[in-house]
Amino acid sequence: LQSYRVENPVDTAKKILEGLALLKALRVNLSGEDLEPLAEKAIGVYLTHKIADFEEVAARCLGLRLECLTDDARITPGQRFRLTSTLWNFLQREVSRVTFTVLVPEKWEIKFVDGASAALSTTCEVIAPPSAELSTPYWLVKPKVGEQYIWPKGAIAGLPFGPPPVQVECPVQLGGDQITLRTPAILREKFPGGQRELTMAVIPPISLSPQRDREFLVVGPADQCINLMVTARSNMEHEGVEGTLRLEVPDDWYVEPGEIELALGPAGDSTSACFLVRVPRATPDGHYTLRYVVRVEDRDYGVVLHPIRMGMPGLPGLPDESNCVREEFVITSAVVEICLIDVTFAKGLRCAYIRGAPEPIPEVLEAFDLHVHPITDQEMAFIELMQFDVIIVGPDAYLTRAELRKNYARFLDYVAQGGTLIVQYQGYGYQGTGFAPYPFAYNQPHDRVSYEDAPMTFLEPGHPILNWPNRISQADFEHWIVEQGRYYFSSFDKRYQPIIEANDPGEAPKKGGLLVAGYGQGTYVYTGLSFFRQIPAGVTGAIRLFANLVSLPAARLHERTEFLKRVALFAPLSDEDLHEVAKLMSEQWVENGAYICRVGDPADKMYTVLRGEVEILREMAGKEELFYQEGEGDTVGAISFFAETPCEVSMRAKGEVQLLVIEVEQFKVLLQQKPMLVGQIIKVLANELRKITGWEKR
């Protein structure tokens, strides 16, 4: 480096050539050293790379440059193209011998053009065979095993990209020294805004693009039909192309048409095709891979071409095939996966979705005939929320949607009025803001279960979330991908009911991954489970569990309706009427020792004990004494409620108590619609009077 002079780099070349000779001699003598085989191999690879570096620097100092120009950067199997190789001798150095060698894969043909060669230049035609391997990064040539790439052996392992399909090698004799130059074949051309040199790549004559890579069907008792769309695109630079397109399906499936003839023009011309697939009714749940194949000149292609392009620095807009300065192609199979899911959703649900981080859950739900309305920022402040049975909040929506943060109280009011709000994981910004109905906290770092198949413990095996309309088992938590969940609540108010529990190996169990809380007449759900990963991937168990969450409004009403059948006041009502009564009721949690009402309070609500016990207290001689107790299924406070007088007794929770509450105005409307309740009211009042009289006699 000290001897390098920009105005005369030749002097530096002498030192570099001396170093090059030493490196070559060292490589020759390496086999005579007493080295471990692996060490010898590693040193040999290192020396080869270092020799190439020295040769390149020496050539630059000597004013030598090798270039290989082609007339096409994107070629297809079977294509003929021309190469012109030139050794530029800018400093007019004396070169005694120059040889051009075109390096191509096996079975490629090379024909030198007569009369087109000179001392420092040569031209040839190259023909890529019909079986030519398509260009793609070397670590993607073989399919992955799980999440692991099949890493190749040899010199290319560890390089950012593999060698180009066509290169030129040129040994140059300079007196007593020899250097070998190598360069890939490139297309040099101008475009508006600059000039580019694209390395050659082999691409299919026709590439395919399925409309969707995954389709969802529900397992059913009858044959099911689905239309599958695919787009075929020509990649031929100079002429059109013809081919035959087909869709390969399992043996007992039916597809129509069997084949579609394609006739496309030069590169960029495309057409769409549709196949009707019938899935037999006996097909069990699972994932089925259907493969698109296009046959061109006796070779099958069935690939999607994903170009990865780099634009010219400083040019506006995204790079495309006409102005990119670097281009690589990732090739994947043109397949569509049919996911047959054994799942049931409650019928007639009206759903809304507030999307946060980009994910396709709403689109997947549409595949199960569940219409999902996306709530926009413009709708957030005024849309009538009670038209929806359930509103689903997407991952990080409270962090990414400012309008949701501004209008969070509307969504809590929606729950209080009887709605169901399902909140998927949110970040730390969700904590301490009042966005949730009751207090909670995240740990830092947050609780998560990164082991996707972590065993699951059911804390509430009888809860509707685990039973209706799909019975959830341990099998539904198998075959999850990437992770089980994130941002679990680490501590939370006792009004949140944990449903499941899981943990990574060696860690403490975490209960904050799926929590349910009654709030007013409705239900609030928080889940850190990674549905945003599982549902788009077609994980059956995750879809079944999410169906239960979405169906929770119907499940809670069903559960409440079944309970009301055992309540004396509502015994004469039909199931349909009980369903309507259940809609009117809200839930209220009362802690041990807390008063539900006191003597003299307005009796504008009637309570039915859902869980726990309630103490009825009366003041005697200025002192509160236990009057009697009511338990599950009992109606309390009925006399004052129906008489519309202030409470004559106090009611206090004995232990934790869960109540069903109905407002007096709501009950008046119900009484007008269902006059048969009058007889039951008399019985309830008589029963309460008997309790009072019995106590007074004591």
Q: Note the pLDDT tens digit of each residue in 55-79.
A: 999 999 999 999 999 999 999 999 9
Contact of 631 with 609, CB cutoff 8 Å: yes
The type of residue at 127 is: I
Structure tokens at 576: 């349909």
Residue 117 has pLDDT above 60, yes or no: no
Looking at residue 613, its pLDDT comes to: 95
What count of other Cβ atoms lies within 10 Å of the Cβ of residue 505? 7
Could you report the per-residue pLDDT of 345-400, keeping only the tens digit for each?
998 899 999 999 999 999 999 999 999 999 999 999 999 999 999 999 999 999 99
Is 38 in a helix, a strand, or coil? helix
Looking at residue 252, its pLDDT comes to: 93
| Average pLDDT for 191-219 | 95
Query: How many CA atoms are closer than 13 Å to the CA of 123, on its beta-carbon side?
Result: 10
Record: fold of 343-559: Rossmann fold (3.40.50)
CA-nearest of 241, 304, 233 to 273 is 233
What count of other Cβ atoms lies within 10 Å of the Cβ of residue 464? 21
Q: Distance between CA atoms of 652 and 637, rounded to whole angstroms? A: 12
Could you report the per-residue pLDDT of 502-554, keeping only the tens digit for each?
999 999 999 999 999 989 888 999 999 999 999 999 999 999 999 999 999 98
| Average pLDDT for 302-306 | 97
Looking at residue 560, its pLDDT comes to: 85
Residue 197 has pLDDT above 70, yes or no: yes
Record: fold of 64-202: Immunoglobulin-like (2.60.40)
Looking at residue 696, its pLDDT comes to: 44
Could you report the per-residue pLDDT of 630-689, keeping only the tens digit for each?
999 998 888 788 878 898 889 999 998 989 998 888 888 877 777 776 666 666 666 766
Q: What is the CATH number of domain 206-312+321-340?
A: 2.60.40.2310
| Average pLDDT for 129-154 | 88
| Average pLDDT for 165-176 | 91
Structure tokens at 692: 């009072």
Task: Find the helix or strand (DSSP H, E) in which 680 lies.
Answer: helix 677-697
Specify burial of residue 322 (Cβ count, 10 A radius: 0-12, 13-18, 19+).
exposed
Q: Distance between CA atoms of 513 and 518, rounded to whole angstroms? A: 17
Q: Distance between CA atoms of 89 and 119, rounded to whole angstroms? A: 11
Q: Distance between CA atoms of 61 and 502, rounded to whole angstroms? A: 65
Residue 277 has pLDDT above 50, yes or no: yes
What is this structure's pTM? 0.81
Contact of 455 with 480, CB cutoff 8 Å: no
- Rounded to a whole number of angstroms, the distance between the first and last alpha carbons of the chain is 112
CA-nearest of 268, 422, 414, 274 to 354 is 422
Confidence class for position 614, pLDDT limits 50, 70, 90:
very high
Ramachandran area for residue 317 (φ above 0: left; ψ -120 to 50: alpha; else beta): left
Looking at residue 466, its pLDDT comes to: 97
| Average pLDDT for 99-109 | 94
DSSP 394: P
Structure tokens at 373: 């309305």
Residue 588 has pLDDT above 90, yes or no: no
Contact of 469 with 558, CB cutoff 8 Å: no
Looking at residue 118, its pLDDT comes to: 59
Q: Distance between CA atoms of 26 and 425, rounded to whole angstroms? A: 61
Confidence class for position 697, pLDDT limits 50, 70, 90:
very low
| Strand pairing category for 390-393 and 351-354 | parallel
Looking at residue 698, its pLDDT comes to: 42
Instruction: Specify the range with the lowest mean pLDDT, choosing from 318-327, 448-457, 561-570.
Output: 561-570
Structure tokens at 226: 């689905």
The radius of gyration computed from the CA coordinates of the chain, to the nearest angstrom, equals 38
Looking at residue 694, its pLDDT comes to: 57
Which residues 6+ apart lie within 8 Å of 283 measured at CB? Answer: 219, 252, 253, 340
What count of other Cβ atoms lies within 10 Å of the Cβ of residue 568? 14
**Three-state SS string across 570-603, please?**
HCCCCHHHHHHHHHHCEEEEECCCCEEECCCCCC
Confidence class for position 315, pLDDT limits 50, 70, 90:
confident
Which residues 6+ apart lie within 8 Å of 501 measured at CB? Answer: 456, 457, 459, 509, 510, 511, 513
Asked whether the bond before 280 is cis by omega within 30 degrees of 0, the reply is no
Instruction: Specify the range with the lowest mean pLDDT, choosing from 114-123, 278-287, 294-303, 420-429.
Output: 114-123
Confidence class for position 484, pLDDT limits 50, 70, 90:
very high
What count of other Cβ atoms lies within 10 Å of the Cβ of residue 387? 10
Query: Residue holding tokens 């992770």?
Result: 483
Confidence class for position 155, pLDDT limits 50, 70, 90:
confident
DSSP for 251-278, written as a single string: TT-EEESS-EEEEE-STT-EEEEEEEEE
Summary mean pLDDT of the chain = 91
Q: What is the CATH number of domain 565-697?
A: 2.60.120.10
Structure tokens at 244: 């035959």
